Amino acid sequence: MRKILEFLGRHWGVVASLVAIAAGGAALAVSPHMRQRADAASRAALAWAGLMESSTDTGKVFWCPMHPQIKSNKENAVCPICNMALVELEGGVVAPPQHLTLTAQQIQQAGVVTQPVLRRDLVRVLDTTGRIDYDERRLKKITSWVRGKNRIEELHVNFMGQQVEQGEPLAELYSPELLVAQQEYLSALTALSGSSVRGMQTALLESARQKLRYQGLTEAQIEELRESRQPQDRIPIEAPIGGTVVRRHIQEGQYVSEGDVLFEVADLSTLWLFADVYEDELPLVEEGTSVELSVSNRPGETFMGTVAFIDPMVRPATRTVPVRIDVENREGKLLPGMFAEVRLRHEFPSMLAVPEHAVLWSGQRSVVIEKAGEGAFRPTEVRTGQKWLHDTSAKETTSVGFGEGRVRYHEVLEGLAPGDEVVTAGAFLLNSESQFQSVLAKMLPPESERATLEEVLGEPLASRVRDTLDAYFQLSATLAEDEIQYVDPRLDALAGAATALAQSAAGADAGDLARDARNFRDLMVELSASPVQDARDARTRFGKISHQLTRLLEKHGGNTLYGDELHQFECGMAKVGYERWLWWSPEIHNPYMGQKMLTCGKRLETLEP
């Protein structure tokens, strides 16, 4: 009795709970069978607490096959959870189960779907933005070739945008020097016809003819002068190509000099599109790559283009490479200066891949749930390569399409072979099962191995990174609240935090971090140098900032914050060239859509730029 009282004094809380459970179970036992189970459970609970000497200590270890965490060194003990008799454990260590076994009914209720791992022809889609401009090969500047001061006597093109044909007169130019040159040519013609010294006169005639060419006359105009023998006091300025007059630099009656630009004529049947591609995506872009684009004034309509040139230099401020795309415009629906949404595609033939939903991200490792037999599943660690790829075996293979919800895939480099079956639906439900957590436990690093940001970077640099994140979060909150008028000071604050981080990293000789911090500072200095024009401009800048900051964090300690102090989201509705953002909590506050769609988006499983 004294022993029981001493135990009650030391563990009164545990005993109270156990007694309450036992009493409650007995009260609910309304049938002999249930009374028997309740009585067994209460006795097992008391025995587990050491209040009932029902088991004998044999020095062996016993465990519950249904609940492997339950262990005891007492023979004839029962599991306090399921009331199952404990069995002897060989070796004294409870190994985590290697498989999760489910009945057909459980598989159906969980919505588990498996799919074989196959080699697929996949395509990676890159979304960015661009600006339409003239094709410089089809843009002609028409200048005055006539020497001296000359007067625009008559204009045939009176407004910009007028369509002209090749050879059509644009204006007429009065030139005293041209009259003199024509008289010299006619005199040389007369002298040649009446001279016996033809060699010298022929040379003089050719010299006079060449002078007319220098004054801007065409061969047809010179021949007309030779036939008519009447000098013209005006010289017509003709269009060298057919197209649209995009610039007119003169007025009627204006005096111009040799070399002055008179008109600019452009053939708009082909245009150039300049798009920016981040340097880490550059290997996916090649000359000849197929491109789709859309413009805001043609909703639902797409236009095709082809990558024609990739700039050989990376812009240091944005870490992007300009790409020039040739776009057909025979119907004239596109105009220079338009803003366009651009989608490029890069094809990967015969690649071993699994659907994106089949991959579970643990933060440091990638795991798929593999079918190990009828009703049996096991976790398999995989190494992935290219991500977010689309299957080209869909019905429409010539067009990527904007806003299409096709299944995306991840390339598998190691861990699976063709024909293996993986769970493609219901994987997260399996992952959440308590029994299955013990299966996955062996795949995940112990909690003690998780480093902190301070341990990775050191206290001074970690403090600067947190200051930068705080300034970024304030900018994100401002956009989520649609307070565009406060974006400029938020950009300035983030630029200041980025500058402090770059200075600290440079002073600490932090290697790659110093370089990446400097690049982020340069981007912030560029984006904060001019005031934002509107909400779209502000969110476009925010997208560039998010991409660069995420790349910095992904490489330098940001994963230590992920899921605790840092979360990443993606919005498929954002059309600013980048659709992800970072936030300090798991709640969605969409900075790209603002108050009209504040909770639009999804949270990502791993930190990815």
In order of 15, 86, 543, the CA distances from 38 in angstroms are: 17, 18, 61
Residues 277 and 212 placed together within one structural domain of the fold: no
In SS3 terms, 182-204 reads as: HHHHHHHHHHHHCCCCHHHHHHH
Q: 274 and 421 share a domain?
A: yes
Q: Which residue has the tokens 């249930």?
A: 34
- Closest by CA to 277, choosing from 337, 348, 346, 344, is 344
What is each CA distance from 497 to 132, 339, 525, 542, 607, in whole angstroms? 35, 31, 11, 15, 22
Is there a single domain that holds both residue 42 and residue 10? yes
Domain boundary among 417, 447, 477: 447
Instruction: Identify the CATH number of the domain in which residue 299 sits.
Output: 2.40.30.170
The set of residues, in sequence order, having a beta carbon less than 8 Å from that of 35 and lying 6+ positions away, is: 26, 29
Within a domain: 474 = yes
Task: Say if 134 falls within a structural domain.
Answer: no
CB atoms within 10 A of CB 205: 20
Q: Are residues 194 and 50 in the same domain?
A: no
Domain shared by 427 and 341, yes or no:
yes
CB 271 within 8 A of CB 135: yes
126 lies in some domain: no
- How much is the pLDDT for 18? 38
- Give domain status of residue 561, yes or no: yes
- For residues 343 and 402, membership in a common domain is answered with yes
How many other CB atoms are found less than 10 A from the CB of residue 186? 17
Q: Which of 432, 286, 258 is nearest to 348 (CA)?
A: 286
Inter-CA distances, 322 with 78, 214, 282, 291, 520, Å = 70, 40, 10, 14, 19
Amino acid 232: pLDDT: 79
Task: Answer whether residue 169 is part of any domain.
Answer: yes
The answer to whether residues 427 and 469 belong to one domain is no
The burial class, CB within 10 Å (0-12 / 13-18 / 19+), for 317 is middle
CATH of the domain at 248: 2.40.50.100
Q: Is residue 416 located within the same domain as residue 297?
A: yes
Euclidean distance between the first and the last CA atom of the chain, given in angstroms as a whole number: 67
Q: What is the mean pLDDT of each run of 10 residues along the chain (609 residues)?
A: 43 40 40 43 42 47 70 78 72 54 67 83 85 89 81 86 86 83 84 65 82 79 84 82 87 87 89 89 86 88 90 86 91 89 85 85 74 78 83 51 63 87 70 48 47 77 90 92 92 92 83 87 92 92 93 85 87 81 90 89 84
User: Are 409 and 533 in the same domain?
Assistant: no
Domain that holds residue 376: 270-447
Residue 311 belongs to some domain of the structure: yes
Instruction: Answer whether 189's CB lies under 8 Å from 205's CB.
Output: yes
For residues 431 and 112, what is the distance between their CA atoms, to the nearest angstrom? 12
Same-domain pairing of 284 and 427: yes
Indicate whether 119 belongs to any domain: no
Among 266, 286, 306, identify where a domain stops.
266
pLDDT at 94: 47
- Are residues 366 and 296 part of one domain? yes
Query: Do 168 and 145 contact (CB within 8 A), yes or no?
Result: no
pLDDT given for residue 557 in this prediction? 82
Q: Quick one: pLDDT at residue 236?
A: 82
* Cα–Cα distance for residue pair 45/87, rounded to 1 Å: 17
Q: Please indicate, yes or no, whether residues 347 and 365 belong to a single structural domain of this protein.
A: yes
Q: Tell me, yes or no, whether 105 lies in a domain.
A: no
Number of domains in the chain: 4
Q: Which of 391, 415, 447 is the C-terminal boundary of a domain?
A: 447
Among residues 96, 603, 120, 159, which one has the least CA distance to residue 392? 120
C-alpha span between 580 and 172 (Å, rounded) = 58
